Amino acid sequence: MFKSINPQDISVPELHGHLMSAIAPRPIAFASTVDKNGNVNLSPFSFFNVFGANPPIVIFSPARNGRTNTTKHTFDNVKETEECVINIVNFPMVEQMSLSSTTYDKGVNEFLKAGFTELASDIVKAPRVKEAPVQLECIVQQIIETGDGGGAGNLVICKVVKMHINEKYLDENGKIDSIKMDLVARMGGSWYCHATPEAMFEIPKPLQTKGIGVDALPDGIRNSNVLSGNNLGRLGNMETKPTAEEIKTLENNEAFKTALSENKLHEFIQSALENEQNDNALRATFYSA
């Protein structure tokens, strides 16, 4: 059963809540801006992501208030000055970031209110957040207003003109270390997500090859009551079916022989996948095919 909703049949705040809880976790654009008089503003937005590398484009949306239909100071500022800095948020600064989202009066500097340190940018006038692990100096290329009612989005399309990375978050090869970054993301309501090592995992991606696909697996495997969708996805991600000689090597595997004798072939496959023994899992998959 599904609860089906026509957006026009519920209030904007209710729809907003559903969308924020369903489309998550979301990265946070901690945007610092200045108005035409040089007043500094700092505010977080979770309608945000990267959309290209050549040219480097990030987009965030300071949406209209769903109840009052007012615009954010950030939105007003980028329209005036056509520049901003997108600061990336990690766990050591998340409480201060949240504080900065308070609706302070125009002209109030959230750097001071939240206790952040202003760091001069090299190209744009808006300051960077020194405490942020990564800061992106941006020129606003285009603004798309998706509507004029409360809750409407305002897509601020930004070209990154300079990127600053705190070196303590780099690995020995000079690349950003995802574990060191300790990032956070926005969920629904007052909830956030913390990208701890325990929460992160890797999935082999067929970037230069083609997986055989779930449709290439034997019927008994595809319709298994034991194997999960993730298990099937991992099997379908394999590049080639095993040869008869490769499958035959399983006959020397004691765990496989025990599983086969106890009619627990699917449990063996699942265990092999969970223990990164992908070759054995695939060979077992086609053992009786």
Residue 116 CA to residue 122 CA, distance in Å, equals 19
Average pLDDT over residues 167-195: 96
Average pLDDT over residues 6-35: 94
When pLDDT is cut at 50, 70 and 90, the band that residue 250 belongs to is: very high
Domains and CATH numbers, the chain: 7-194 (2.30.110.10), 214-285 (no CATH)
| Confidence check: pLDDT of 265 > 90 | yes
Predicted structure pTM score: 0.86
Tokens at residue 163, please?
A: 């990127």
| Confidence check: pLDDT of 7 > 70 | yes
10 Å CB burial of residue 152 (0-12, 13-18, 19+) is middle
Q: What share of the chain is helix, strand, coil (3-state, %, to 5)?
A: 35, 25, 45
| Confidence check: pLDDT of 230 > 90 | yes
CB 133 within 8 A of CB 90: yes
Average pLDDT over residues 106-133: 96
| Confidence check: pLDDT of 288 > 90 | no
Q: Looking at residue 67, what is its pLDDT? A: 85
| Confidence check: pLDDT of 139 > 90 | yes
Q: Looking at residue 206, what is its pLDDT? A: 67
Residue for token pair 């952040």: 116
Q: Looking at residue 289, what is its pLDDT? A: 67
Helix (H) or strand (E) holding 178: helix 178-181
Residue 249 CA to residue 93 CA, distance in Å, equals 53
Which amino acid is it at 270? Answer: Q
Angle at 39 between CA 36 and CA 43, to 5 degrees: 110
Q: Phi then psi for 96, rounded to 5 degrees? A: -65, -40
Mean pLDDT of the chain: 94
| Confidence check: pLDDT of 208 > 80 | no
Average pLDDT over residues 196-219: 86
From the CB of residue 87, how many other CB atoms can be counted at a distance below 10 Å?
28
Q: Looking at residue 259, what is its pLDDT? A: 92
Q: Looking at residue 5, what is its pLDDT? A: 94
Average pLDDT over residues 89-117: 95
Cα 131 to chain centroid distance, Å, stands at 21
When pLDDT is cut at 50, 70 and 90, the band that residue 203 belongs to is: confident
Query: Quick one: what percent of the chain has pLDDT higher than 90?
Result: 89
Helix (H) or strand (E) holding 261: helix 254-261
| Confidence check: pLDDT of 204 > 80 | no
Which range among 66-70, 73-77, 130-134, 172-176 shows the weakest confidence by mean pLDDT? Answer: 66-70
What totals of helices (H) and strands (E) does the chain contain, helices first? 11, 11
For 225, which DSSP code? S
Can you list the pairs that 45-50 forms with residues at least 24 positions away whose Cβ atoms lie under 8 Å?
Answer: 45/74, 46/20, 46/185, 46/186, 47/153, 48/86
| Confidence check: pLDDT of 66 > 70 | yes
When pLDDT is cut at 50, 70 and 90, the band that residue 170 belongs to is: very high
State whether residue 60 is helix, strand or coil.
strand
User: What are residue 90's DSSP bridge partners?
Assistant: 183
